[in-house]
């Protein structure tokens, strides 16, 4: 499973929306349930699932699901599990 | 875009005004942050035990710097029985541009995380209930949510029945309330119920006097009574003089004496107009302190002072069981509460077991004083 697929699965659970409806371009602008609270829940879930910490600058990069997956991927490569 | 959170300084004031304008364009005029970097309430000063400080979330781009969020920290001291005094902070007035623009959805979380990084022993108070976005966000960050009980006593039943908008939202109920007010049955029912609960006693030799400022005797009562609660924000004379200075007239400082000796104090005030109370004049027992055996006398003295001030309704938020009991024995009823005490994970660990009733928090804690009075 790719990092994007894992991130999409987590986002699907948190946002209460089917994975098929989530694309790399999905964002708070396009997903109604993606509000500030769910954004926090997404950050916390990603930190727990991938055993990493996201800095404020990195959280700011999470504009879309694709950008979020790319960020996670780069952090995983920087510090391999 | 890169969000950086910094202490609010003079050079940010114009950007905060722009931030306020963008928030208020949504139509909610309560969405406003302090236009001045120096807090009007509890400004920082050398040696003060309690003060406010503000932070802003700055978004720098080639076209300039914008404010995308802001929050306040009320720095104060908390007495914890058996553990001494601990510095803590109240997280208040968090505002994020994410409220009006989803491009800034992450700002609310960044504000809360920044506050936690600055003071891990953090709490929030009020928040309008446990299901509001801010309360849900803090819960996700590991904060505990505990409701602080709400009590009320109706002084003028007819005015209450005609003006209590929070209960008149259903048409048939509003009609029944009008009938009860006009016929006098409402007056009879409410007064009977309140008298049944009121315990007549504890007021012999009690004298109430209004203070312009808290003298040092408040230290003695603080020192004695603090050991009867699990925790409370410090209420010594020096802190009380900052919280309730002589210059503030929206709240009144009462000293209660029995047989000539001070036994406690209370802060009372008239609440600002609030749509849910209609045109009612709503008095509040804002804060109070005494040994448990004197709580009833203090509550009754405070309620009598408000009645003399021609209020229609008296309300109070009290966490401590002793004070809750004193309110009930003074004819108060408990009502639904949306006043939430939310300590951070670290603060919860310090305070455990977090038992409702064992600690002393009131409407005066947090940022409630300038907001409500």
Per-residue pLDDT at B200 exceeds 70: no
pLDDT band at B199, cuts 50/70/90? low
When CB atoms are compared, the residue of B106, B112, B141 closest to A60 is: B106
The CATH number that applies at residue B203 is 3.40.630.30
How many domains, chain A? 1
Asked, for residue B210, whether it belongs to a domain, the answer is yes
CA distance A46 to A4: 12
Asked, for residue B14, whether it belongs to a domain, the answer is yes
Contacts of B62 (CB under 8 A, 6+ apart): none
Structural domain that includes position A15 = 3-78
Asked if B73 and B90 touch (Cβ cutoff 8 Å), the reply is yes
Angstroms from B6 CA to nearest CA on chain A: 13
CA distance B72 to B179: 46
Task: Kindly list the distances between the CA atom of residue A66 and the CA atoms of A50, B98, B109, in Å, as whole numbers in the listed order.
Answer: 16, 20, 20
Length in residues, chain A? 81
Angstroms from A45 CA to nearest CA on chain B: 10
Contacts of B109 (CB under 8 A, 6+ apart): A36, A39, A40, A43, A59, B137
Asked, for residue B132, whether it belongs to a domain, the answer is no
Q: What is the pLDDT of residue B82?
A: 93
Q: What is the pLDDT of residues B216-265, one digit of tens each?
A: 999 999 999 999 999 999 999 999 999 999 888 889 999 999 988 999 99
Nearest Cα neighbor of B125 from B288, B324, B337, B296 is B337
Return the ∠ at Cα B357 (arms to B155 and B337), rounded to 5°. 50
Q: What is the pLDDT of residues A19-78, one digit of tens each?
A: 999 999 999 999 999 988 899 999 999 999 999 989 888 888 899 999 999 999 999 988
Asked if B305 and B265 touch (Cβ cutoff 8 Å), the reply is no
For chain B, percent of residues with pLDDT exceeding 70:
97
CA distance B22 to B15: 11
Q: What is the pLDDT of residues B176-194, one digit of tens each?
A: 888 878 878 777 777 777 7
B8 lies in the same domain as B108: yes
Asked, for residue B365, whether it belongs to a domain, the answer is no
Task: Kindly list the distances between the CA atom of residue B58 and the CA atoms of B54, B148, B368, in Å, as whole numbers in the listed order.
Answer: 13, 35, 27
B281 lies in the same domain as B154: yes
How many domains, chain B? 2
More confident residue, B218 or B26: B218
Asked, for residue B248, whether it belongs to a domain, the answer is yes
Q: What is the pLDDT of residues B66-115, one digit of tens each?
A: 999 999 999 999 999 999 999 999 999 999 999 999 889 999 999 999 99
The residue whose two tokens read 């109370």 is B277
When CB atoms are compared, the residue of A28, A37, A62 closest to B133 is: A37
Structural domain that includes position B46 = 2-119
Asked, for residue B124, whether it belongs to a domain, the answer is no
Q: What is the pLDDT of residue B162?
A: 81
Asked, for residue B221, whether it belongs to a domain, the answer is yes
**Chain A neighbors of B1, CB-CB under 8 A:** 60
């Amino acid at each position: 499973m790719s990092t994007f697929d894992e991130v999409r699965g987590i986002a699907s659970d948190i946002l209460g929306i089917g994975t098929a409806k989530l694309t790399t371009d999905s964002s708070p602008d396009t997903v109604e349930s993606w509000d500030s609270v769910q954004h926090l829940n997404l950050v916390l879930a990603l930190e727990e699932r991938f055993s990493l910490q996201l800095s404020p600058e990195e959280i700011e990069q999470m504009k879309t699901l694709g950008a979020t997956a790319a960020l996670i991927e780069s952090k995983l490569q920087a510090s391999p599990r | 875009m890169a969000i950086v959170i910094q202490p609010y300084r003079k050079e940010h004031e114009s950007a905060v005004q722009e931030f306020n304008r963008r928030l208020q364009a949504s139509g909610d005029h309560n969405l406003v942050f302090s236009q001045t970097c120096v807090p009007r309430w509890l400004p920082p000063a050398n040696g003060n035990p309690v003060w406010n400080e503000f932070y802003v979330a700055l978004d720098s781009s080639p076209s300039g710097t914008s404010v995308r969020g802001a929050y306040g920290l009320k720095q104060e001291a908390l007495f914890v029985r058996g553990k001494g005094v601990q510095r803590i902070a109240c997280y208040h007035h968090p505002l994020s541009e994410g409220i009006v623009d989803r491009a800034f959805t992450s700002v609310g979380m960044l504000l809360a995380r920044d506050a936690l990084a600055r003071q891990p022993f953090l709490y929030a108070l009020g928040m309008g209930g446990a299901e509001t976005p801010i309360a849900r966000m803090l819960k996700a960050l590991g904060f505990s949510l505990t409701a602080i009980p709400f009590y009320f006593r109706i002084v003028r039943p007819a005015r209450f029945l005609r003006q209590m908008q929070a209960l008149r939202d259903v048409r048939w109920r509003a009609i029944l309330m009008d009938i009860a007010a006009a016929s006098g049955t409402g007056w009879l029912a409410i007064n009977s119920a309140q008298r049944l609960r009121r315990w007549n006693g504890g007021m012999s030799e009690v004298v109430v006097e209004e203070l312009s400022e808290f003298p040092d005797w408040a230290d003695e009562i603080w020192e004695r009574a603090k050991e009867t609660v699990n925790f409370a924000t410090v209420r010594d004379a020096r802190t009380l003089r900052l919280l309730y200075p002589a210059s503030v007239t929206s709240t009144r400082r009462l000293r209660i004496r029995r047989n000539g000796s001070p036994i406690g104090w209370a802060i009372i005030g008239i609440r600002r107009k609030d749509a849910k109370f209609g045109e009612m004049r709503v008095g509040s027992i804002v804060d109070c302190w005494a040994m448990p055996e004197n709580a009833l006398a203090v509550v009754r003295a405070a309620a009598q002072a408000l009645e003399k001030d021609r209020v229609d309704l008296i309300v109070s938020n009290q966490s401590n069981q002793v004070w809750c009991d004193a309110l009930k024995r003074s004819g108060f009823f408990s009502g639904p509460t949306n006043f939430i005490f939310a300590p951070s994970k670290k603060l919860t660990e310090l305070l455990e077991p977090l038992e409702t009733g064992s600690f002393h928090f009131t409407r005066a804690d947090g940022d409630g004083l300038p907001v409500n009075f």
